[in-house]
Amino acid sequence: MARIAGSSGPRTEEAIRRAGLSLITTHGYAAMSLRQLAAMVGIQQGSLYNYFRNKQEFLFDLIRSHMQDLHAALEQALLPEGSAAERLTRFVEFHVAYHIERSQEVFICYSELRSLEPENLTAVVAMRRDYERRLSDILEAGRESGEFRLADVRMATLAILAMLSGICNWYRPDGRLSKEAVSRTFTGMVLALAQGGADPAALPQPANLNRLAARRQ
């Protein structure tokens, strides 16, 4: 979020972000009011405009910043070389860990795409496709090398991402499975799919993930 001249500083900006994430996750973007947001942070509503010009800009910035962080973290996590299976394993481990640690941002990125104005939606969709492409490239390389047996890389990409990203809807830190256990299980499932032991059509599809997100609001 670009701070506008006259605002009170980075700590207030971070507090606004945290409060906004909490309110949108709990109530949804449409139901969240700027009055609620200001009250949660402990500032006057007019002070919010030192940080963003309107509610739509605030939502777009939250989602765009999440996508930028996701891309940067993935760049650091991926193996620059190695077998396709090794690179796919690293991708799954990263994706699961990130989506557990940043579950609010992930949830909003899926559930509130519908709330973005057309220009903002276009920008976010482009960033999502860039992320999908990183996984597609790994799967395609594995198919070309003979490590993976995939009839449709695009379908496999979408199915894998839908399955992995759904973790933000059900994972709880105090649940019966640790983050490491979930990561190991998902890694095994994804490798089985890529190596020909599973049908991509049997995995959760993006539309199902969106329905889960809608029910959580």
For position 80, what pLDDT does the model report? 84
> How many whole angstroms separate alpha carbon 68 and alpha carbon 153?
25
For position 7, what pLDDT does the model report? 45
Q: pTM for the complete prediction? A: 0.81
Q: pLDDT per position in the chain (217 positions), as tens?
A: 544 434 457 889 999 999 999 999 999 999 999 999 999 999 999 999 999 999 999 999 999 999 999 999 999 999 888 999 999 999 999 999 999 999 899 999 989 999 999 999 999 999 999 999 999 999 999 999 999 999 999 999 999 999 998 888 888 888 888 999 999 999 999 999 999 865 544 444 444 444 433 333 3
Query: In the chain, what are the domains?
Result: 1-53 (1.10.10.60), 55-216 (1.10.357.10)
Interior CA angle at 174 toward 171 and 179, to 5°? 55
Closest by CA to 47, choosing from 62, 61, 39, 23, is 39
Length of the chain: 217
For 29: left if phi > 0, alpha if psi spans -120 to 50, otherwise beta; the answer is alpha
